[in-house]
Structure formats: C-alpha cells, structure tokens
C-alpha cells in the first residue's frame, strides 16, 4: 500500500524511501497541531478525511523531532530507517519549499535534495583537517565481506568458539542495554563463516599431522591396548 504525504507540494511516500508518520489519535493533545500544519498550505484539508493511510513524511520534521536513541541505532546500522520513531510531542514544522521554476526539472530537484542530505551526513560523520583539508569519515566499525560490520562477525565468532549458548548470551547483552546482533544473525554467521572456518582449520591440522608422520623415519607402528578380564566368572550357589 502506498502511503503518500498529504502536505502541499510534497510527493514523498513510503515507496520513495522516505519515513512516513501517521497522524496521532484524535484524542491526542497534538492532533489538532498536525491538522493546522497541513491546513496552513491546504485550506481544504479536513480532519474528517483522515484514514490510516494519511501520513506526513520525514521532510516536514526537524532532526530534534525524532527519538535520539532510535536515530543513533539507525546511524550505527542496528535499526532500519522506517523504524525510527518520533519523539513524544513531535509536531511537523517544516513546509515544502516553493515550486520549481519553469526551467527546472525533477531531476535537478532530486540532486539538490541529495546534496543537502549528503551535506547533513557530512557534518555528522566527517571531520576535516583545517591545515591539509584531509577528510575522515567516522564509522563505528569496519565493513568486511558483503559490507558486513566486522564487529558483528567477531561477536558471533567469540560466542561460537567459546562454547556459549547464543540465545542466552545475546539475551544477557540486551539486558545490559548493549547493542547486539540477533540470534538469526548469529546462526547465519555460524553457517556461512564460523563453521567453515573450523572445518578448514581442522583440515589444515590434519594435513600437518599426516605430513609429520610421513617424514618420520622407520615407518609408523599402530597399536592398541586391550584390557582383558582375567577374573573367572563365578556363579553363586545356594
């Protein structure tokens, strides 16, 4: 289902990759503030026309309008963009810009929006040297195979190689309030990375042992120890 923004001059929707937010309950104290915001540019908009698909997109909210914890999890890769929630009492306050001039194109507007988003992310994640101009982008962890966070794989390996139970370990970390992978992610790492690594290490160890045995002078003698029961069976008689 397509949920398009109802604000004047805005064509954003959930399908265009934007966060969209439903109106609060009609009994909520901020409900009429949302209505007034839309009516400021759309005088014919009425509260009676609201449905569960009536939404306002993220472009009409300031960064302070969002739950800061959710935003941090999103930037660290632990939360999907559409799962970032609004803070309590958040009200839309940013109206869409004026319509493009006749010579403008939709592509140019998209490019402007993209540049603004890039500039915003640059201010948040990039530090530049004032002397040489070198730029450094901050990341909480490096990316490895298929753009996977390295620390996630290291955590899965630590749980697996130490013999801990994954579900209990992950639950304990979450009880401590730590950002952590899900059990599904662990088992995916186990299947595609840690188990193949263990098998490869064991094969390498086997090849090393066999190579050493082949180089042993005088050949190899295999023997076993058998423990015989020399005590005869006795039968108790009355």
How high is the pLDDT of residue 189?
A: 92
State the average pLDDT for the chain: 80
Last residue of a domain, one of 47, 65, 83: 65
Question: Is 30 among the domain residues?
Answer: yes
Question: Is 178 among the domain residues?
Answer: yes
Last residue of a domain, one of 65, 92, 111: 65
Structure tokens at 217: 């002078």
State what percent of residues in the chain have pLDDT above 90: 27
d(CA 65, CA 88): 8
Question: Is 70 among the domain residues?
Answer: no
How high is the pLDDT of residue 161?
A: 92
Question: Is 233 among the domain residues?
Answer: no
d(CA 45, CA 39): 6
Find the domain containing 166 and state its range: 145-214
Structure tokens at 186: 């662990």
Work out the average pLDDT over 69-75: 82
Q: Find the angle CA(66)-CA(68)-CA(73) to the nearest 5 degrees.
A: 110
Last residue of a domain, one of 15, 33, 65: 65
Question: Is 47 among the domain residues?
Answer: yes
How high is the pLDDT of residue 146?
A: 77
139-195 pLDDT, tens digit each: 667 778 777 888 899 999 999 999 999 999 999 998 888 888 999 999 999 999 999
Question: Is 129 among the domain residues?
Answer: no
13-32 pLDDT, tens digit each: 888 888 899 898 888 889 99
Question: Helices (DSSP H) in the chain: which residue ranges?
Answer: 31-39, 68-75, 106-125, 150-162, 166-175, 183-189, 195-214
Question: Is 138 among the domain residues?
Answer: no
Question: Is 152 among the domain residues?
Answer: yes
DSSP readout, 125-178?
Answer: HEEE-TTT--EEE--SS-B-GGG-BHHHHHHHHHHHHHT--HHHHHHHHHHTT-
94-132 pLDDT, tens digit each: 987 655 454 445 445 555 556 665 555 544 556 667 677
- Total domains, the chain: 2
How high is the pLDDT of residue 102?
A: 45
């Amino acid at each position: 289902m397509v949920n398009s923004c109802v604000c004047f001059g805005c064509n954003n929707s959930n399908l265009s990759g934007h966060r969209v937010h439903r109106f609060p309950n009609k009994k909520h104290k901020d409900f009429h503030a949302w209505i007034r915001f839309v009516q400021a540019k759309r005088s014919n908009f009425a509260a009676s026309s609201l449905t569960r698909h009536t939404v306002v997109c993220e472009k009409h909210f300031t960064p302070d309008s969002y739950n800061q914890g959710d935003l941090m999890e999103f930037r660290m890769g632990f939360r999907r963009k559409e799962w970032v929630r609004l803070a309590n009492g958040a009200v839309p306050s940013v109206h869409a810009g004026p319509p493009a001039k006749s010579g403008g194109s939709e592509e140019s507007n998209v490019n402007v929006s993209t540049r603004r988003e890039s500039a915003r992310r640059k201010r948040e994640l990039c530090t530049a040297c004032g002397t040489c101009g070198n730029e450094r982008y901050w990341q909480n962890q490096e990316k490895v195979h298929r753009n996977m966070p390295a620390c996630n794989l290291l955590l899965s390996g630590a749980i697996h190689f130490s013999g801990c139970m994954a579900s209990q370990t992950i639950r304990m970390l979450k009880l401590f309030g730590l950002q952590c992978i899900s059990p599904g992610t662990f088992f995916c790492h186990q299947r595609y990375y840690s188990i193949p690594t263990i098998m490869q290490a064991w094969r390498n160890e086997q090849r090393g042992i066999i190579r050493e045995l082949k180089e042993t002078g005088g050949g190899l003698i295999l023997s076993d120890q058998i423990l015989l029961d020399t005590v005869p069976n006795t039968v108790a008689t009355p």
